[in-house]
Amino acid sequence: MIICVLLPRFQLTIAAGDRSELLHTPTALAPEPGGVQQVGEVSIAAEAFGVHAGMRLGEALARCPKLTLVPPDPAGVADMWERLLVRLESIGAAVEPERPGLVCFDARGLLRLHGGGMLVTNEGERVKGVLAAARRALLMPARYGVAPSRFAAVAAATRARVRRPVIVSGDRDQARAFLASLPVGLLRARPALAELPEALERLGIGTLGELAEVAPEALADRFGNAGLMAHELANGGDCALSPRPAGEYLRESLELPEAASGTQLERGLGLLIDRLLARRERRGRTLRAVVLSAVLVEQGGTWREQVVFREALADPVRMRLALAPRLALMPAPAEELRLAVERFGLPTSDQRALLEDPAAARMARLREAIRQARAAAGPDAALRVLEVDPESRFPERRAVLAPFEG
């Protein structure tokens, strides 16, 4: 059984902060600075005017002239979401977060631990014990859905209430019967199927039950792999969960005395890197991915940027070279700078061979340069010319570009 935990309007709630009265008025998350001009999560009052997440800002203001825009808080959302995931992991759940505010985990490994032991034989009662443990761990209201598949669990969570979880017992047939009356708009929960519900509605398919009755060959012919995936979801199936690996939360922050930018930020970044590398919890490991964030002076918003290094490293000089250019993306001066580890690498080991072949060393440096070029400019950054028909009259037939595999 898959359990889905849904926190409606999680990002909007975090961005509003202490101004909870905004959630009772037409409110929406403002577009991120420098991003696409689309609104984020919206309140219930804004939905009454036809405003929804992902709508263009101009159209949203035209539908609701009194719409209040709240600056997004990506750093605050990421921090709070990480705390909630750690709380769920504290009860033994192997969580798979889909987006901030939506997470799923398998309940089968927790039934004996939180379901009352072997004395309770009713599966529904044992699942309720797991739900009670999740409520005690989260310490905040949430909606819970339980079903045999992940998609059905997400659909059940959208129909649930804070104290009324929706539990779909049985196998795939029961999940299909539960999904039959639900609208195809639920497919938008999958990023790969975000555009599909609109096309299905134009074809007269309004519910998941109607979608399940369509032949998969027809859906594949019209929509390709997206149609087959939608048909599988409508029939109560889904792929297996991919829980995130357990990690450690390691972060350093620096409060700036005044609104800082430019050279001051670079010096602060260097100090954060030295502090992070000196932490005892690192235990000599390298860093594969970090998150650079800041609290902005303008409107109290935040800025967040994820940086994945080309190779795991623990050299402060190379880390400064990789992170310093990202400071130029900050939309406003900062009053606090943060640096957190998102993923660790292997322990530091850069021991050279006693007898090194110059040709092998040159090829290793060349391969590393190709990997860095592809990481920066995409897979087509390094190609090689392959002769096909050198005597052809047409120049485009004489040679082709193929991936370089040196």
CATH number of the domain where residue 313 is located? 3.30.1490.100
User: Are both 387 and 310 inside the same structural domain?
Assistant: no
- Could you tell me if residue 98 is inside a domain? no
Parallel/antiparallel/unpaired status of strands 166-167 and 143-147: parallel
State residue 153's pLDDT score: 94
Confidence tier at 270 by pLDDT (50, 70, 90)? very high
Task: Give the Å distances, CA to CA, from 96 to 89, 106, 196, 220, 298.
Answer: 10, 9, 24, 28, 34
Confidence tier at 281 by pLDDT (50, 70, 90)? confident
Q: What is the 3-state secondary structure (H, E, C) of 68-137?
A: EEECCCHHHHHHHHHHHHHHHHCCCCCEEEEECCEEEEECHHHHHHHCCHHHCCCHHHHHHHHHHHHHHH
User: Are both 282 and 369 inside the same structural domain?
Assistant: no
DSSP 3-state of 180: coil
Structure tokens that stand for 171 in this block: 């196998």
User: Are both 332 and 390 inside the same structural domain?
Assistant: no
CA distance 90 to 114: 12
We report the CATH number of the domain holding residue 14 as: 3.40.1170.60
Q: Is the pLDDT of residue 389 over 80?
A: yes
Q: Which of 304, 322, 347 is the last residue of a domain?
A: 347
Closest of 264, 229, 250, 244 to residue 336, by C-alpha:
264
List CB contacts of 355: < 8 A, sequence separation 6 or more: none
DSSP 3-state of 306: strand
Q: Which of 26, 49, 73 is the last residue of a domain?
A: 73
Confidence tier at 143 by pLDDT (50, 70, 90)? very high
Q: Which of 55, 73, 91 is the last residue of a domain?
A: 73
Residues in the chain: 406
- Could you tell me if residue 45 is inside a domain? yes
What percent of the chain is modeled with pLDDT above 70?
93
User: Are both 14 and 66 inside the same structural domain?
Assistant: yes
Structural domains counted in the chain: 3
141: buried, middle or exposed (CB in 10 Å: 19+, 13-18, 0-12)? exposed
User: Are both 257 and 318 inside the same structural domain?
Assistant: yes
* Chain segment 341-367, per-residue pLDDT in tens: 988 887 765 556 666 778 887 887 787
Parallel/antiparallel/unpaired status of strands 250-260 and 166-167: unpaired
- Could you tell me if residue 176 is inside a domain? no
User: Are both 257 and 341 inside the same structural domain?
Assistant: yes
Show the domain range for 54: 7-73
User: Are both 364 and 313 inside the same structural domain?
Assistant: no
Q: List helix spans (H) across 139-224.
A: 150-159, 172-179, 196-202, 208-213, 216-223
User: Are both 298 and 341 inside the same structural domain?
Assistant: yes
Classify the C-alpha dihedral 266-323-269-331 as positive or negative. positive
Model-level pTM greater than 0.85? Answer: no
User: Are both 263 and 299 inside the same structural domain?
Assistant: yes
- Could you tell me if residue 81 is inside a domain? no
* Chain segment 119-139, per-residue pLDDT in tens: 566 677 788 889 999 999 998
User: Are both 339 and 372 inside the same structural domain?
Assistant: no
- Could you tell me if residue 329 is inside a domain? yes
CA distance 94 to 101: 16
* Chain segment 61-86, per-residue pLDDT in tens: 999 999 999 988 888 898 899 889 98
User: Are both 65 and 25 inside the same structural domain?
Assistant: yes
